[in-house]
Amino acid sequence: MNIPKISIIVPVYNAQYFLERCINSIIEQPFKDLEIILINDGSTDRSGEMCDEFAKRDSRIRVLHQTNKGISYTRQFGIDHSVGEFIQFIDSDDWIEGDMFSELYNYATHSNLDILGSNFIMDLENKSKKIICQYPSREKFIKAVLSNEWGVVWKLFIRRSLFLNFGISFPVGINHGEDYIVCVKLLLSTNKIATIDLYNYHYNYKITESSLTRNSGIKSTLDQIYATVIVEDYINSNPDYRKYKKALIKRKLFYSYNLISDLGTIIFDFLGLQLKYSLIFLSPRSVLTYIILVLVKFRILINNSLTKVTS
């Protein structure tokens, strides 16, 4: 059996308007020694049919269909069915350009790397923005990701054996922050890490149903906090990793603020109408009492949410 040099893993969910651009950008790459794994995660639009049509056109494409399991399960499913020397994740609403695979593979193999990180382009609604993800050392790379600086798997070119040799897998039941956990574990597992000055990956940041990694509301925030707890426990489990613990502070502060903001939105959405009409009839003292009660309830909700995350 001929082992492909790179396994391309593309989770697909309701991406019919972006899928053709994504897959064409992969199959048109000059680098041809690939296997392309498309996982249809229970799409309700034409995405599944489109995947099958692409497989008929290119023998390198394998299509796997499943009921909807979420992004974390789907990426792991792709790893479990891959056989390539390296793995590159690509989200189905994103796309790539240039000779990306040749650049990544040649640099990684010539430098004997296990992980090669690169820059990317964020495609916004009306413009594109270059995002620099280059670091002068492994230490700075790890600390940057830990502190909440783009801990996403699609910006990494990864030797597949890392997943197998170190038992690294995507967590079940968490769909925001799952790649943060995996990125941290991968980066801590090897010293053979570098970054390259490339801008070939286009991250689609437009608000679409097919966006696989878009943050949305308190569920997303709680998942991200849970991911941070998992990473902190992982760091504490190994004395060699504990030097990185301070790098978590920025991420903790960021998602603590998000949690407060999300809870505030929920409370005032729920109480807003009641508060608006009550103020007409209440005395100043009653209004103050009402606000205090709202704040007390707010504090209780925060404590309960944090207890659930850490339990």
Asked if residue 1 belongs to a domain, the reply is no
The list of the chain residues with pLDDT below 70 reads 1, 206-216, 264, 266-311
Q: 79 — alpha (psi -120 to 50), left (phi > 0) or beta?
A: alpha
One domain for residues 272 and 168: no
pLDDT of 296 reads: 56
One domain for residues 130 and 261: no
One domain for residues 161 and 147: yes
pLDDT of 212 reads: 45
> What are the two backbone dihedrals, phi and then psi, of residue 85, each rounded to the nearest 5 degrees?
-70, -40
One domain for residues 80 and 135: yes
Q: 150 — alpha (psi -120 to 50), left (phi > 0) or beta?
A: left
One domain for residues 164 and 268: no
**The CATH number of the domain where 197 resides is what?**
3.90.550.10
Task: Give me the domain span that covers residue 101.
Answer: 6-214
What's the structural domain count of the chain? 2
Per-residue pLDDT of 252-298, as tens digits, reads 888 887 777 777 676 666 655 454 444 444 444 444 555 555 555 55
